[in-house]
Amino acid sequence: MQLRYSFRLYPTIGQRRALAQAFGCARVIYNDALRARETARSEGLPFPTSGALSKSLITEAKKRPERAWLGDVSTVVLQQSLRDLDAAYRNFFDSLKGKRPRTGAPRFKSRKDTRQSVRFTANARWSITPGQKLRLPKIGNLQVKWSRSLPSKPSTVTVVKDSADRYFASFVINTGPDEALPETPGTIGVDLGLTHFAVLSDGRKVDSPRFLRRAEKRLRRDQQRLGRKIPGSHNSGKARLKVARTHTRVADARREFHHQLSTQLIRENQAIAVEDLAVRGLARTRLAKSVHDAGWSAFVAMLEYKAARYGRTFCRIGRFQPTSQVCSHCGAKDGPKPLNIRTWTCGICGAVLDRDINAAVNVAKAAGLAVSACGAQIRPAVMPAPRGETGTHPTLPPARREQAGIPGSLAREDVNCG
């Protein structure tokens, strides 16, 4: 599988200008190619191919005086911009066919977009110098903050400038099966929530850090200062940067928490199961801010790719599984319960159950069955019928008598309806 390793970059003032020029040239090529394809579509002409666009928008455009500045950046950056447009169209068409979630049509990029990026492949001949600096063509040697070593030689590198005016180098690494961890007998179910971020089937509860809630006071103050500035002014830009940096600190802290917890679960357990939550639906309720602050989707995505990387088993339990309604001891279904009921007593076996731990245990049980049944539908085990549902039924319908194998001459028969 392919993984990305991101490291912080610290370019000089001259290198920032060179990167800004590369961002701008890549954006111009992207917009020119999108405009050419939209024009061809409106006029009923054939869809221009990437090769034809590369020849007309890059090779021949450099020879014209009005586009001679395209030669100041690496050609690979411009070609990769066309590849990005191809990927955008491919994703859009696949979404129309139902192969992936719905995405919009490609749109024009703006120079005011807070996130900019360019990609260098092996053809660009970028390298890592003996002094551990990143050498990029027509940009120079950039200082990198190496937080860890790369496990193998990267195939591509993407330079990203985020909304907080930070620069990152994102390397694509190809990993093999040699990173699989030793097998462990543990199997665990994870129940995600808001009061506790995760409740595990072994009884452990992980509190929700609520990073956004903790930063609301500072964020409110920064946004108020931004609202008092004149739009488009220099002070407005500085105030916007403060708001962006506050958001990035929250996002970085949340991502670090997700990485630490997901890595711990992967190392301790051989099989992990989570419930497939309807995050989009929950994000449209009054709990939207808390749902986004928790970041369930990002955490589950980390569990999934880390399980595939380290040879673990990952299962998604259907969102309609009654994990909070079924007793984890006897399997009796007790019906839905309001959210204010956190503990309940099973009416069949009398067990006192914690709502979250019981749901996590049911998720773990469903995960064990799903692995052996290859994703088959999981249902509670067969249980004896209660006494109120059994007895003597003197008048059974003819169809029911034939189904049960009862002779029609018998007027009365004890039939167990459970």
Catalytic center residues: 191, 275, 356
β pairing state of 271-275 and 187-192: parallel
Give the integer Cα–Cα distance in Å for 169 and 172.
10
For 196-231, letters b (16+ CB in 10 Å) and e give ebbbbbeeebbebebbbeebeeebeebeeebeeeee
Residue type, 411: A
Please give the Cα distance from 270 to 379 (Å, whole number). 23
Q: Give the three-class secondary structure for 417.
A: coil
Closest CA to 159 of 15, 36, 353: 15
Residue 42 phi/psi, 5° resolution?
Answer: -70, -30
- Number of neighbouring beta carbons within 10 Å of residue 114: 13
Find the distance separating the first CA and the last CA of the chain, reported in whole Å: 50
